[in-house]
Structure 1
């Protein structure tokens, strides 16, 4: 069992209640189980779509000015913060809610650690380390004032989590914020950083400082992400959840010991100031939702610049420990390649910086995290082309950069709709890797010496890791991040979303999907779309609304299995039959012997007329192919091959549970296969997609391919990045 957290200072419980607070109608929290948003946001949500005529990239709501000092020996940060917040609603606000994310690591009683214990053993988790005495982390509010008056506050649990969870604080404002007015809060706070166990913290002298400052929750208005009334979106810090915040500006000064390498969200606004053995760095960034930074002594930097149409010149920096220098250059290349790809396929990158941080040995759980203009990548002592090490370094770098679009520029709510960030990002990452023709290789040196070098395409990996063999998904794709059956169910958001979107792309065509994704990005950049907004953009952009709604109902909002099979292939030669017929107005009986002679004569005459024919005869064949669905009715293609080498392709695009297709041909059918081009990455079982009259090895070959894909899952970690 984990050691108990250190006792909290008295100030961490609450501050004195302020007298004379004006009463107002309470504003409710969003449901603890909010998910599966089906109602599209209104066109003017979040201030409406951003256009080139707008003076700012986002409809800025918040502003944070922070002065912080790191004590690397105690692993603490002491800071003063001035936060401004604009009340977008039409009513006065006398209570606000701040996220205190760092308190997720204060002890075993937090929602985060409670759920971590619940989900342990049910699939992969990001980290398994246990914090000991002196390794817990927390955030203490030292002073909170509004216009010189103390602000009363208390911890609350909007998601009905344990009372020992302190990741959300409610504040009673001495002076209510008028409708469309602005609030200014002065906050002094103290961070005790945790040892790196997941996402944030220290290891040795390395400090990744993330989820570290009090951050105001999002006040959503009617017409935004399914809201029908003004509401606070202020979820606790759940084990599987990440973040959601308003767009705003950050002006942050960071003081660290001399000799430390520092990187952060945004750009350096001025030259570092050196005084008394310490250095103060000044970073600024507009139109983002978060701020994180890193400080470590002896770390190296690698710099380059990138330019692209519609983007400013971008300074790209990789910060890395000397022991992992081998992956610095690959991380840089993957970052600049991702800048080019995402800017071309979605929209221009709007910021002036990108910073990638490679964590040190024993702090791998600090890797694979994303913040605006700033992310942590993968560390490794090896980078060899054509191996798993290359794929992992490249994939993780591209994936974390990609969050800058799907989490950052598109402002997805990762609490309630992780598929919009993790899942959609996974889809676009794999699209980039596919366009790069970068398959996954997992062969050991010995296997390669033996000439064995299995490779699997990126989307095939996604299918194998999250679709193959799953009869019925336990949770819908648009379920929130914590109401999940298991770790694996949450992890499947990545692969199932990627497989779903790839399936749509294959059905509507690559160009149509590309157009739809650009529409989604352009319409919702610097806003906060829901799954319903993605659905409508795809429906409009692809020009196939019925198909998009069908797939969203079955997969995004539902848990339908996708599977179909060829049940039987039956062929019968259409021979004359004994019986009575009407001939010249009279009923005549034809006997079996007469029929036999008629058939024999016809065959003999046909052979004489077709001496070189290898197939066919005087009578046609009626072939019947029976197919059956045991899952969602997605459009299917049936290819039937005949004895003479010819083939016919038909569409099965209705919602029938089974169907018979008939073919009258000179030769019989010898095999039938559903979707020979394999467009449906959601298909749970490819082994039943074909049927052959004669035995062949195609099914076993497909089984081997699926087995290879599953084996690859051992070598490649994707699920919780």
Structure 2
């Protein structure tokens, strides 16, 4: 998801930092809890000793065991993933009432070494049933803003209800639980107490009937008019993590409540989903359509199947135009790319198709080949913007704009959101990151890789043109220069490795996007492009179709780049901790080394050289120099110059260059070390020409530095500072726009 509206998901991943000041903290209007049958009573004598994962998780520091999640996938296995949770679902949509009647058969495998008596399911839609959910409580009590701040109005709430649960024909009692200590009124996690324990290594099948009332689209899922985006819609089993997986030391259930900024985490499996809707409705979904839809009494049933994914979403509308189709010919065969859109956004369809195919090409080349046969992109209709900017396996939603001609900012934004949401198919989809506990591995790394794709295509002219017109200054502002403006550089509140809900503010959550991208940009500048790409490919190869932790990512970076000490230092300071970087030129002066009055020894005798004598000798030397060098530049003369430079350091220590330029056109590069705790550095240079300027980080490699304007000094005023200011102002507006239109 992109924050900006989403928010697009923190927008356009960009600058939340600057822009988040606009995110309002809306109050959720009270609403009655949706009516539902009472859950069957739970047997209080049932004992299950498998605990929940911590409600206050921290970024994992210990790498997973080599055999975690079944070990690395070599490609010789029968399936791409080690399938744990398989779903067979029948769903019938009532598009007028916006309800879904569902029947689900869940087959789950117990990977642990002990019998499992109780299992836990997510009922995500219950986050939208009223003010008592964890989702809405955090929004209200923490004063957090969320995406575009669309408020739920009367009649627009949504929920999921289990109406029947059985194991081998026996009724399964259930109860709502609160793994994170959320309000007792939250109903996003349910416990099933199974009549028959699942043996170690064994499997069980649980049959469920459920009913959904979709909400008016306001947070990634729901309806508007005839449009339906159906996500987070089916009862979904939590993840039973084992020792050696993501920091676990004993079996534990990772099944967090649905927090405001959290997303999802689930086991891989096979999804076989039949969707029934009126025959005039166009359906798009995760996976591949199986055969021709079957008609019965004016309804069509569409069957989609997809293996080796951990979620499933779909859309239905009778206003969709004829789909726009394309093909990407990859190493694993052709990939069918489909764009669903409404007539009012016909101009958006081709750009979304092109950006999707370009993303397939880039991600396949830089990370690994795309393993599926389909990609479906959805362009939301007018007034359904909250459905935009969201990702599911092989299926995502982009954004929609009235005017997306080349050279307009809207085109840039549409391209970026499309790239971003497709990219989640890798970092959230194929690399099954835990978006609850370690959103950096999805949102952050995806944001970084998306902007690398744009840089590789040199596709930033649209934003620059718009900003140039707005500010009246001709600028050239790069992708990562924009990102740094959203990275909370001056006073970062939380490490990027923190969980999605343990954050000071929504703005701080936004740094998962912008600050992670900035941290990774700076790391790439230090280790080099080839080493960084080699490490990412190694990470993808080792962890695809598994569930890596931040520690596993760190190890891939250390091994792949061959620079373990540097990588571990960066992670210690910016991932597990949060330290600002603030280096500045504190002093700069360059003066002639002139003779001075005092006692000197001349031919064995001590004599005093008086000031008047010194002054005359200086004048004489200068006159002789000027006569001999009539075209000499200012700053050149008969005397050498002494240049004094002092750099002050605050926060984390990073290696930087210091470039000194001299009047004769020459220069000298000094090195500010990236180790040690010294808070300052000082140099004294002696040269034949006067130093005229000094600049920290002349290559613009260190984007974590809180203020690039104090990185340079000149002896005489020039346009450097003004140019830097214009760039930062431009970045602010670009980031602000991104926050408003990206999810």
TM-score category (smaller protein): over 0.9
Residue 531 of structure 1, CA deviation: 1.4
Q: How does 1:339-350 map to 2 (within 5 A)?
A: 339-350=360-371
Match of 1:52 in 2: 75
Please report the RMSD computed on the Cα atoms of aligned residues, expressed in angstroms: 2.4
Shift in Å at residue 60 of structure 1? 1.2
Contact 1:388/1:440 (8 A) holds in 2: no
Rate the CA distance shift 1:298–1:618 in 2: closer, same or farther, 3 A.
Answer: closer
Aligned partner of 2:702 in structure 1 is: 680
Matches within 5 A, 1:170-189: 170-189=191-210
Is 1:248 the counterpart of 2:269? The answer is: yes
Q: Does 2:657 correspond to 1:634?
A: no
Give the counterpart of 1:17 among 26, 42, 58.
Answer: 42
Match of 2:62 in 1: 39
Describe how 1:26-105 pairs up with structure 2 within 5 A.
26-105=49-128
Contact preservation (8 Å) 2:471, 2:730: no
Inter-CA distance 19–2: structure 2 relative to 1 (3 Å threshold): closer
Q: Counterpart of 2:230? A: 209
Question: How far is the alpha carbon of 1:132 from its aligned partner?
Answer: 3.3
Q: 1:66 and 1:712 mapped to 2: Cα distance? A: 43
* Contact 2:324-2:349 within 8 A present in 1 as well: no
Deviation digits for residues 328-375 of structure 1 (CA, Å, limit 9, x no counterpart)? 111111111111111111110000000011111111101111000000
Change (3 A) 1:451 1:699: closer
After TM superposition, the score normalised by the length of structure 1 is: 0.94
Give yes or no for the alignment of 1:278 onto 2:299: yes
- 1:437 match: 458
Matches within 5 A, 1:360-371: 360-371=381-392
Q: Measure the CA separation in 2 of the matches of 1:159 and 1:215.
A: 18
- Structure 1, gaps ≥5 residues long: none
Q: Paired residue for 1:663?
A: 685
3-state SS of the aligned residue for 1:290? coil
How is 1:266-305 mapped onto 2 (pairs within 5 angstroms)? 266-305=287-326
Q: Aligned equivalents of 2:467 and 2:666: distance in 1?
A: 44
> Secondary structure of the equivalent of 2:292?
strand
* Paired position in structure 1 for 2:29: 2
Gaps of 5+ in 2: 1-27
CA contact (8 A) 2:464 2:477 kept: no
Q: Hey, what does 1:563 align to over in structure 2?
A: 582
- Specify the SS of the correspondent of 2:127: helix
1:262 aligned to which of 283, 289, 303: 283
Contact kept, 8 Å, 1:579 with 1:590, in 2: the verdict is yes
1:703 match? 725
Task: Provide the secondary structure at the position in 2 that maps to 1:620.
Answer: strand
Instruction: Please say if residues 324 and 350 of structure 2, whose CA atoms lie closer than 8 Å, have aligned partners that are also in contact.
Output: no
Cα separation, 1, equivalents of 2:626 and 2:93: 94
Q: Secondary structure of the residue that 1:243 maps to in structure 2?
A: coil
Indicate the residue corresponding to 1:427 in structure 2: 448
Are 1:131 and 2:152 counterparts?
Answer: yes
What corresponds to 1:509 in structure 2?
A: 528
The 3 A distance-change label for structure 1 pair 589 and 423 is same
Aligned to 1:117: 140
Deviation digits for residues 277-307 of structure 1, max 9, x if unmatched? Answer: 0100110000001001111113124343434
Question: Could you tell me how far apart the structure 2 residues matched to 1:48 and 1:582 are?
Answer: 82
- What is the aligned residue count? 712
Aligned mates of 2:474, 2:378 — CA distance in 1: 32
Deviations 1:512-539 (CA, angstroms, capped at 9, x unpaired): 2111111111111111111122122112
The equivalent residue for 1:230 is: 251
In the alignment, is the contact (CA less than 8 A) between 1:80 and 1:186 conserved in 2?
Answer: yes
Write the distance in 2 (CA, Å) between the matches of 1:572 and 1:261: 77
The CA deviation at 1:242 is 0.4
Rounded Cα–Cα distance in structure 2 between residues aligned with 1:433 and 1:281: 36
Rate the CA distance shift 1:125–1:252 in 2: closer, same or farther, 3 A.
same
Separation of aligned partners in 1, 2:353 and 2:56: 40
Are the aligned partners of 1:443 and 1:452 in contact in 2 as well (CA < 8 Å)?
no
Tell me which residue corresponds to 2:171.
150
* 1:523-602 mapped onto 2 (5 Å cutoff): 523-580=542-599, 588-592=606-610
What secondary structure does 1:428 align onto?
helix
Tell me the distance in 2 between the aligned counterparts of 1:699 and 1:453.
Answer: 15
Secondary structure of the residue aligned to 1:10 is coil
Distance 1:719 1:428, change over 3 A: farther
Deviations 1:434-487 (A, max 9, x none): 1121216458999859987766332222122334xx422111111111111111
What do residues 653-692 of structure 1 show as CA deviations (whole Å, max 9, x unaligned)? 1332100022121122121000112111212101100011
Report how far residue 195 of structure 1 moved. Answer: 1.1
Structure showing greater relative contact order (alpha-carbon pairs closer than 8 Å, 6 or more residues apart): 2
- The question of 1:648 aligning with 2:668 is answered yes
Contact 1:387 1:443 in 2 (8 A): no
Work out the CA distance in 2 between the residues paired with 1:315 and 1:309: 11
What's the secondary structure of 1:330's corresponding residue?
helix
Contact 2:467 2:734 in 1 (8 A): no
- Over 3 Å counting, the alpha-carbon distance change for 1:570 and 1:451 in structure 2 is closer
After superposition, the C-alpha distances for 1:222-251 in whole angstroms (9 at most, x for unaligned) are 111111221111100011000000111101
CA distance 1:253–1:388, shift in 2 (3 Å):
same
1:57 and 1:287 in contact (8 A); partners too: yes
Rounded to whole Å, the distance in 1 between the matches of 2:601 and 2:71 is 77
1:702 offset after TM fit, Å? 0.8
Per-residue deviation at 1:717? 2.7
Distance change (3 Å), C-alpha of 1:704 and 1:443: closer
Does the residue aligned with 2:442 lie in a helix, a strand or coil? helix
Deviates more, 1:457-466 or 1:95-104: 457-466
